[in-house]
């Protein structure tokens, strides 16, 4: 099978990955076997009580208005023809005091370019996560906690082939994206975090520490039945408090024209990740790469970790953990083009700050990940 070696080689020259942590004598196949054995030993009855609401996603079309030159306006200027993506999940996070909404935007800022080692330019876009909170909520009723954004190979998660029907593609279900065993591994990583050790830190610092802890815990795991935990990248942000400033980016619009539902909710920025992609993907092998790399068109799992209201948890109490799989759409509610379908730009993955891997290592890992689907 041709995999576009010249394009792939260029891709690898500028790409970095989080390696799976293992002893030098541990083979990749033994890691697969160990993970499969662990999944088999952990039955459905042993899985933690996490939530994953299956709700319809909304978009700019569901808003009552859109000001000119905002992320949702039809006449907005799109540099280079770049189409931003927007996904809204109204009142998706249920807490003791209120329900929170989520908004995910891909491309709020102008996409950027960085020079490749062989002269090509590589494009990147931002992916920003916002939370919507009722404007009538009292300061003491704001829930305490964190939101974790997940990437796979530095991009969105490609759903497992055949795991979702057409209706699921417009919902927050994590079916085929993050299986229950992977959710359990992430839950274990979250609840093993020593929250008391960060008691003298701000909420933002505490959530950053939690994100770093989950990243470290996933390095040596496959994370359930079908994902390599070492290639999952986690970015964390704190839920807003009554003293937090609302998001003020001019492209978001103002008042009831902001991309949040219900329209009377206030919008707060929580976290941001960066996605990388290049111009010449191996489209002749889209079926192979499309099952590994989600590009911009897949799902972004968001993990909510709620510690209660401003009083926090009692000693020994565990946080409420839930999963919401977000997806973005163009302004007219069409899916962001599939980067391996010939309609959009190709993608390459990058996780900042880690060592580059060799061509041979990626091909072996890529084939292993492919056969796990």
pLDDT digits (tens, 9 = 90+) for 178-226: 999 999 999 999 999 987 766 788 999 999 999 999 999 998 788 877 6
Q: How far is CA 13 from CA 17, 117, 344, in A?
A: 12, 7, 22
pLDDT tens digits for 308-326? 766 666 666 789 999 999 9
Distance CA 115, CA 278 (A): 11
Determine the pLDDT at residue 45: 74
Q: What is the arithmetic mean of pLDDT over 77-98?
A: 86
Q: What are phi and psi of 199, to 5 degrees?
A: -65, -25
pLDDT tens digits for 4-19? 333 333 333 333 333 3
Residue 115 β-bridge partners: 121
Determine the pLDDT at residue 103: 98
Q: What are phi and psi of 84, to 5 degrees?
A: -70, 160
Q: Which residue has the higher pLDDT, 230 or 118?
A: 230
Determine the pLDDT at residue 173: 96
Ranges 101-110, 247-256, 281-290: which has the least confidence: 281-290
Contacts of 292 (CB under 8 A, 6+ apart): 153, 158, 366, 369, 370
Ranges 176-180, 231-235, 342-346: which has the least confidence: 342-346
Q: Which residue has the higher pLDDT, 243 or 342?
A: 243
Closest alpha carbon to 369 in 296, 291, 299, 301: 291
Determine the pLDDT at residue 292: 65
Instruction: Please give the span between the terminal C-alpha atoms of the chain, in angstroms, as a whole number.
Output: 18
pLDDT surpasses 90 at 32? no
Structure confidence at residue 282 as a pLDDT band (50, 70, 90): low
Q: Which residue has the higher pLDDT, 72 or 302?
A: 302
The per-residue pLDDT of the chain, averaged, comes to 76
Determine the pLDDT at residue 174: 95
Query: What are 124's two structure tokens?
Result: 């990147």
Distance CA 337, CA 154 (A): 18
Q: How far is CA 126 from CA 173, 233, 272, 330, 365, in A?
A: 23, 15, 7, 15, 26
Domain boundaries, the chain: 5-18+49-371
Determine the pLDDT at residue 293: 73
Q: Are 120 and 345 in contact (CB under 8 A)?
A: no
Q: How far is CA 94 from CA 101, 210, 267, 319, 325, in A?
A: 9, 21, 17, 13, 15
Burial 191-218 (b: 16+ CB within 10 A, else e): eebebeebeeeebeebbbbbbebbbebb
pLDDT tens digits for 140-187? 999 999 999 999 988 899 888 878 877 788 999 999 999 999 999 999
Q: Which residue has the higher pLDDT, 271 or 360?
A: 271
Query: What is the DSSP track for 191-222?
Result: HTS-GGGGTTS-HHHHHHHHHHHHHHHHTT--
Distance CA 349, CA 327 (A): 18
Closest alpha carbon to 92 in 127, 67, 56, 62: 56
Structure confidence at residue 87 as a pLDDT band (50, 70, 90): very high
Ranges 32-36, 69-73, 296-300: which has the least confidence: 32-36
User: pTM of this prediction?
Assistant: 0.79
Highest mean pLDDT among 13-22, 45-54, 264-273 belongs to 264-273
pLDDT surpasses 80 at 286? no
Element (H, E) at 232: strand 232-238
Q: How far is CA 30 from the centre of its chain?
A: 28
Looking only at the bridges linking them, the beta strands covering 121-134 and 232-238 are unpaired
Q: How far is CA 305 from the centre of its chain?
A: 15
Distance CA 171, CA 58 (A): 9
**Number of continuous H segments (helices) and E segments (strands) in the chain:** 6, 9
Going by the DSSP 8-state scheme, the letter that residue 236 receives in this structure is: E
Residue 274 β-bridge partners: 126
pLDDT surpasses 50 at 3? no
% the chain with pLDDT above 70: 66
Structure-derived torsion over alpha carbons of residues 288, 294, 298, 304, reported in degrees to the nearest 10:
130
Q: How far is CA 163 from CA 111, 286, 340, 351, 373, in A?
A: 32, 18, 19, 27, 10
Distance CA 260, CA 306 (A): 21
């Amino acid at each position: 099978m041709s995999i576009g070696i010249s394009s792939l080689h260029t891709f690898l020259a500028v790409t970095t990955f989080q390696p799976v942590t293992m002893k030098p004598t541990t083979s990749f196949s033994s890691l697969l076997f160990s993970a499969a054995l662990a999944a088999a030993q952990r039955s459905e009855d042993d899985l933690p009580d996490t939530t994953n609401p299956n709700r319809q996603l909304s978009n700019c079309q569901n808003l009552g208005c859109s000001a000119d030159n905002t992320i949702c306006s039809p006449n907005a200027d799109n540099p280079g023809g770049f189409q931003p993506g927007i996904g809204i999940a109204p009142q998706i996070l249920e807490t003791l005091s209120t329900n929170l909404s989520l908004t995910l935007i891909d491309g709020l800022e102008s996409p950027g370019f960085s020079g490749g080692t062989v002269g090509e330019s590589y494009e990147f876009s931002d992916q920003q996560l916002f939370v919507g909170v009722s404007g009538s909520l009292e300061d003491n009723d704001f829930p305490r906690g964190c939101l974790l954004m997940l990437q796979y190979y530095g991009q969105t998660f490609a759903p497992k082939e055949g795991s979702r029907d057409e209706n699921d593609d417009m919902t927050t279900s994590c079916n085929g994206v993050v299986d229950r065993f992977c959710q359990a591994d992430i839950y274990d990583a979250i609840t093993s975090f020593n929250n008391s050790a960060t008691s003298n830190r701000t909420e933002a610092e505490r959530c950053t520490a939690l994100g770093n802890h989950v990243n470290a815990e996933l390095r040596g795991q496959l994370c359930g039945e079908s994902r390599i935990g070492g290639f999952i990248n986690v970015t964390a942000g704190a839920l807003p408090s009554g003293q937090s400033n609302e998001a003020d980016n001019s492209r978001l619009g103002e008042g009831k024209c902001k991309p949040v539902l219900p329209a009377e909710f206030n919008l707060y920025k929580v976290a941001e990740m960066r996605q990388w992609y290049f111009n010449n993907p191996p489209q002749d092998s889209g079926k192979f790469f499309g099952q590994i790399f989600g590009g911009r068109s897949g799902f972004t799992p968001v993990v909510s970790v709620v510690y209660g209201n401003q009083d926090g948890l009692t000693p020994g109490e565990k946080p409420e953990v839930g999963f919401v799989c977000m997806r973005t759409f163009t302004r007219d509610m069409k899916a962001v083009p599939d980067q391996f379908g010939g309609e959009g730009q190709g993608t390459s993955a990058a996780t900042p700050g880690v060592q580059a891997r060799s061509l041979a290592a990626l091909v072996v890992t890529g084939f292993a990940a492919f056969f796990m689907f």
